[in-house]
A and B are shown apart, each in its own frame.
Chain A
Amino acid sequence: MIPMHHYLIVSLILFTVGVLGVLVRRNAIVIFMSIELMLNAVNLAFVAVSKQLHQMDGQIFVFFIMAVAAAEAAIGLAIVVAFYRNKRSVDVEKINVMKW
């Protein structure tokens, strides 16, 4: 049996990679994929702790996070498509109309 904190360490590395991806990339689609990566890392941590405590609640939350991720994917990609229609690009540095 692998100790729980090994799963948590994998999870935190994946989460940090996702954060780095959001911070350093300009392509809106890649930023979107990084967000999915962070959601997956959180799911992994939830399942690991839930198994450690012999409780189901963490796994139910994973279920809900997956539903929210699906909704977020639909809305986020719709925004990307609408943005592409205006600017002919998905470069986030071109989203600057409301920039101070």
Chain B
Amino acid sequence: MTTVLFYVFSILAVVSALMVITRRNPVNSAISLLLTFVCIAALYILLNTPFLAVIQITVYAGAILVLILFVIMLLNLGEIGQGFFDITSTGQRVAAIVLSVVLLIELGFATVQGSPRVAAALGIYGDETIARVGHTQSIGRVLFTDYVWPFEVITVLLIVAIVGAVLITRHDPQEGQVVMPDGSEMPVEEICEEESCEEEEENPASEEGK
């Protein structure tokens, strides 16, 4: 039963991951990514780590994916390019194929060679311990004793990320003015390259009509 479920969810995860990178419409990609996240959460359940399955659903499917979908709909993004291989340079296509195949072979070789050697001294968190203590409590005990300092660093990282995101997306208060990080305002012409600003200046009316 467990084996059947493992193969079902693994194949579903790989197929939906392939759909993420092959769909032209980014919304379809996002929905496929949701399916991948749910399948990986199911694999966590099969690995007997229910707490990670729950935060996989809440953090990835609940927060990150909603953020991605929100940006897609906010910017009203359409399709770019012609289907799957939409990069234009032929050399880059060949390089992408070659690098992916080489990476797959290399990782597969490392897995086949290395996984029998994963037999270091076993820790105390075997299945019996987790069944007795509970998975959430086991994680919490390690997280707030051995890893309490990295945990505090992560909180600082999240604060910095929030402040950075607000700063990067801060809207211009005046047309043609950009707010610099120190709060002063500068005209767009002084900041942008000429090439990138020309497009906006040529037809501002049609762009606002979108």
Interface mask (B75-103 → A, CB under 8 Å = 1, otherwise 0): 10101110011111000110110011001
Determine the interface band of chain B, counting residues with CB < 8 A from chain A: 35 or more
With A16-B104, A29-B68, A69-B64 as contacts: A54 and B123 at CB distance below 8 Å: yes
Determine the interface band of chain A, counting residues with CB < 8 A from chain B: 35 or more
Chain B interface mostly: helix
Total A-B residue contacts, Cβ distance less than 8 Å:
241
Asked if A47 contacts B92 (CB within 8 A), the reply is no
CA–CA, A4 and B119, complex, Å: 11
Q: Which residues of B contact A56 (CB under 8 A)?
A: 123, 125, 138-139, 141-142
Q: Which residues of A contact B134 (CB under 8 A)?
A: none
CA–CA, A54 and B122, complex, Å: 6
Asked if A33 contacts B20 (CB within 8 A), the reply is yes
Identify the B interface with A (CB < 8 A).
Answer: 2-3, 6, 10, 13-14, 17-18, 20-21, 26, 29-30, 33, 36-37, 40, 43-44, 46-49, 52, 55-56, 59-60, 63-64, 67-68, 71-72, 74-75, 77, 79-81, 84-88, 92-93, 95-96, 99-100, 103-104, 107-108, 111-112, 115, 118, 120, 122-126, 129, 138-139, 141-143, 146-147, 150, 154, 157-158, 160-162, 164-166, 168-169, 192-193, 195-196, 199-200, 207, 210
